[in-house]
Amino acid sequence: MTKEARRPDTDEDRLEELKAMVHDERYMAGAILRIAYVLSDEIMDGIGVSHGGWKQGF
């Protein structure tokens, strides 16, 4: 099994993997889209859009 295919064994392995991912434009674009989706969903739940109205936040 290649190093890329196996699970990292140490924190240092994971850190090196994350450093490489930060420089991958496709990974970062996907990560930004996932964050935007989660935040949008949270915002919409907070104002009650899914239930047809606004919720008071206090």
Residue 45 confidence (pLDDT): 79
Alpha-carbon distance of 35 to 30, in angstroms, equals: 9
Residue 44 confidence (pLDDT): 81
Q: What is the pTM of this model?
A: 0.53
Q: How many helices (H) and strands (E) does the chain have?
A: 2, 0
Residue 1 has pLDDT above 50, yes or no: no
Residue-wise pLDDT for 7-52, tens only, equals: 658 999 999 999 999 999 999 999 999 999 998 888 887 765 555 5
Alpha-carbon distance of 46 to 41, in angstroms, equals: 9
**Residue that wins the pLDDT comparison between 1 and 32:** 32
Alpha-carbon distance of 11 to 17, in angstroms, equals: 10
For residues 48 and 55, the answer to whether their CB atoms sit within 8 Å is yes
Alpha-carbon distance of 8 to 17, in angstroms, equals: 8
Per-domain residue ranges of the chain? 23-47
